[in-house]
């Protein structure tokens, strides 16, 4: 069986989860669900990033010890996964023993291969980004220094171990050229390539000025740099260092889904660490854009943080899942607006999809006694609809393989609009008296259309599409992509339909 491994970033536990975290994990969840629907064996990983200065400081501010603090905040991310319906197969925390063991094993392997040396770091560090910045990368404003991300930087001077990143530059450039799909979208790929072409410095990979981290083997005065620790989570969960572990067959990861803010760590440091340790680099890193709220940057100080739990309470889980992936091309920045959300829910879910289901299923109930009409050949007038439906799953799959969620949904919606045009044109309600045989054929084609839509939409709206498939009389074993080739038997009893989507007042 083909395997697929998808990951989200592991989230810092300095604060409660917000819409940005939900968005990254949602996209990953849809890919994982689609792969399962295609019959692939999937490992979907998410989790929390619990070490480092930023988390240590957040714990101090909360007046708690770091472990107690991370236990508490990490739970919020687990709760979010449940609220959002994420189908992750594992949830990793970097404070777990399995992760400490993996990080230390990776470190020792890098030492064995002479990829690490002891030196001294002197330079800028931004705790908010947990990142080192070069002298010409920072900027002074009002007597304070800032990173290009806007994070304040501080001057750090301490003994440090270094990873020989500089020597991996040429290899990385070859790797990007040989694997043009490794970084997406293309704008991010160019950005990364320009950065590597500019020359890489060796990377400081340990800290001595605080203790909340994984001790460096043999030199516990040092804790590992939090990004080396964090990135390693992707192999920890696959069983590393035990490369005979059952889970190891999932490595290398198929897609690391990340926000655009952390693409450098994933597309430069991570493949270099892995290659240096003799491990395969991941196949792809996809960097999505950032959400603003009604045109404004989302920030705690502006008080406009969007809580995904509140949104779900207000609009329902599946409408929110749909909207987040429908509204904005994955990879671009997007604006969250309630009006846009309501417009899509009413226009696309309730009016287009919901209405089609309701009209079709009510007619089958009323005019056919709730028994599914026989499958029929496509006659003139049906052919266009039927051929569009036939190619839809492959088109959706193609879009999802490129993380084009909005195009996948647009393709489904275009077919749903076509089916609405078809029902209006064929007017099966009028055929009951004039041509009941043709009426049955039309209703069966519409049923087929709904089955295709519900099947391919399952990854996006699992709960609502399960209800729709129930109403369509599709048994549990008939819900995979392959099962679409097997028509439901004539006479299948359909339960009375109920509305799948409700309209929302603007």
In the set 6, 12, 121, 162, which binds ligand MSP (CB under 6 A)? 12
In the set 4, 9, 267, 413, which binds ligand MSP (CB under 6 A)? 9
Number of residues engaging ligand MSP in binding (CB under 6 A): 19
In the set 30, 156, 228, 262, which binds ligand MSP (CB under 6 A)? 262
Long-range contacts of 181-185 (CB under 8 A, 24+ apart): 181/283, 181/284, 182/267, 182/271, 182/281, 182/282, 182/283, 182/284, 182/285, 183/263, 183/267, 183/284, 183/285, 183/287, 184/284, 184/285, 184/286, 184/287, 184/331, 184/402, 184/403, 185/286, 185/287, 185/331
Q: Is the dihedral of CA 482, 488, 494, 497 positive or negative?
A: positive
Return the range that interacts with ligand MSP (CB under 6 A); candidates 259-267, 368-376, 405-413, 431-439. Answer: 259-267
Q: How far is the CB of 207 from ligand MSP (least distance, A)?
A: 16
What's the rounded Cα separation, in Å, for the pair 43 and 155? 41
* Tokens standing for residue 338: 């309630």
* Tokens standing for residue 463: 């709960």
Return the range that interacts with ligand MSP (CB under 6 A); candidates 18-26, 84-92, 98-106, 116-124. Answer: 18-26
In the set 290, 307, 407, 466, which binds ligand MSP (CB under 6 A)? 290
Please, which of residues 224-243 interact with ligand MSP by CB under 6 A?
A: 230-231, 233
Q: How far is the CB of 429 from ligand MSP (least distance, A)?
A: 46
DSSP letters for 430-449: HHHHH-HHHHHHHHHHHHHH
Neighbours of 476 (CB within 10 A): 10
CA geometry: angle 105, 89, 291, nearest 5 deg: 95
Return the range that interacts with ligand MSP (CB under 6 A); candidates 6-14, 65-73, 80-88, 271-279. Answer: 6-14
Q: Measuring CA to CA, which residue among 391, 377, 376, 383 is closest to residue 456?
A: 391
What's the rounded Cα separation, in Å, for the pair 88 and 370? 37
Rg over CA atoms, the chain = 26
Residue 11 in the binding site for ligand MSP (CB under 6 A)? yes
Return the range that interacts with ligand MSP (CB under 6 A); candidates 17-25, 242-250, 323-331, 368-376. Answer: 17-25
Residue 320 in the binding site for ligand MSP (CB under 6 A)? no
In the set 4, 5, 6, 10, which binds ligand MSP (CB under 6 A)? 10
In the set 5, 6, 23, 121, which binds ligand MSP (CB under 6 A)? 23
Q: How far is the CB of 205 from ligand MSP (least distance, A)?
A: 14
Q: How far is the CB of 161 from ligand MSP (least distance, A)?
A: 19
Residue 250 in the binding site for ligand MSP (CB under 6 A)? no
Q: How far is the CB of 172 from ligand MSP (least distance, A)?
A: 18
> Cα-flanking dihedrals φ and ψ of residue 471, to 5°?
-65, -30
Return the range that interacts with ligand MSP (CB under 6 A); candidates 3-11, 235-243, 387-395, 473-481. Answer: 3-11
Q: Are 209 and 158 in contact (CB under 8 A)?
A: yes
What's the rounded Cα separation, in Å, for the pair 263 and 276? 19
Nearer to ligand MSP (CB atom), residue 131 or residue 350: 131
Return the range that interacts with ligand MSP (CB under 6 A); candidates 216-224, 237-245, 254-262, 443-451. Answer: 254-262
Residues 6 or more apart whose CB falls under 8 angstroms from that of 3 comprise 40, 41, 42, 43, 249, 250
Residues that bind ligand MSP (CB under 6 A): 9-12, 20-21, 23-24, 49, 230-231, 233, 258-259, 261-262, 290-291, 298
């Amino acid at each position: 069986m083909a395997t697929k491994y998808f990951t989200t970033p592991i989230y810092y536990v300095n604060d409660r989860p917000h819409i940005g975290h939900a968005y990254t994990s949602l996209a990953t969840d849809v890919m994982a669900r689609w792969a399962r629907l295609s019959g692939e064996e999937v490992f979907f990983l998410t989790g929390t990033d619990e070490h480092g200065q930023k988390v240590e400081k957040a714990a101090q501010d909360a007046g708690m010890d770091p472990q107690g603090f991370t236990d508490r905040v990490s739970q919020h991310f687990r709760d979010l996964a449940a609220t959002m319906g994420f189908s992750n197969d594992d949830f990793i925390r970097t404070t777990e023993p399995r992760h400490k063991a993996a990080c230390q094993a990776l470190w020792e392997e890098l030492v064995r291969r002479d990829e690490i040396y002891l030196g001294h770091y002197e330079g800028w560090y931004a705790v908010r980004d947990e990142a080192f910045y070069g002298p010409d990368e920072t900027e002074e404003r009002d007597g304070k220094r800032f990173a290009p991300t806007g994070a304040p930087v501080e001057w750090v001077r301490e003994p440090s171990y270094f990873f020989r990143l500089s020597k991996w530059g040429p290899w990385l450039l070859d790797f990007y050229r040989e694997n043009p799909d490794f970084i997406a979208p293309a704008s991010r790929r160019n950005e990364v390539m320009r950065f590597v072409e500019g020359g890489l410095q060796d990377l400081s990979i340990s800290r001595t000025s605080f203790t909340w981290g994984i001790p460096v083997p043999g030199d516990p005065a040092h804790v590992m740099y939090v990004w080396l620790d964090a990135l390693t989570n992707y192999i920890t969960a696959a069983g590393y260092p035990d490369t005979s572990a059952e889970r190891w067959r999932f490595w290398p990861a198929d897609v690391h889904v990340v926000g655009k803010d952390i693409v450098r760590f994933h597309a430069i440091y991570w493949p270099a660490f892995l290659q240096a340790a003799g491990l395969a680099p991941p196949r792809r890193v996809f960097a999505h854009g950032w959400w603003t709220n009604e045109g404004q940057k989302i920030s705690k100080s502006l008080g406009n943080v969007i809580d995904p739990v509140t949104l779900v309470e207000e609009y329902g889980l599946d409408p929110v899942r749909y909207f987040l992936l429908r509204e904005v091309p994955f990879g671009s920045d997007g604006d969250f607006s309630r009006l846009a959300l309501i417009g899509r829910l009413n226009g696309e879910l309730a009016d287009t999809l919901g209405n089609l289901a309701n009209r079709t299923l009510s007619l089958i109930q009323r005019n056919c006694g709730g028994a599914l009409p026989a499958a029929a050949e496509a006659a003139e007038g049906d052919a266009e609809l039927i051929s569009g439906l036939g190619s839809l799953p492959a088109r959706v799959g193609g879009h999802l393989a490129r993380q084009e969620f909005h195009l996948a949904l647009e393709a489904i919606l275009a077919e749903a609009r076509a089916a609405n045009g078809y029902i209006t044109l064929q007017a099966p309600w009028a055929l009951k008296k004039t041509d009941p045989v043709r009426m049955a054929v039309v209703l069966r084609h519409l049923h087929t259309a709904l089955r295709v839509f519900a099947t391919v939409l399952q990854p996006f709206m699992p709960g609502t599409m399960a209800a729709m498939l129930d109403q369509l009389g599709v048994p549990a074993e008939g819900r995979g992509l392959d099962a679409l080739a097997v028509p439901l038997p004539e006479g299948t009893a359909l339960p009375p339909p109920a509305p799948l989507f409700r309209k929302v007042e603007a």
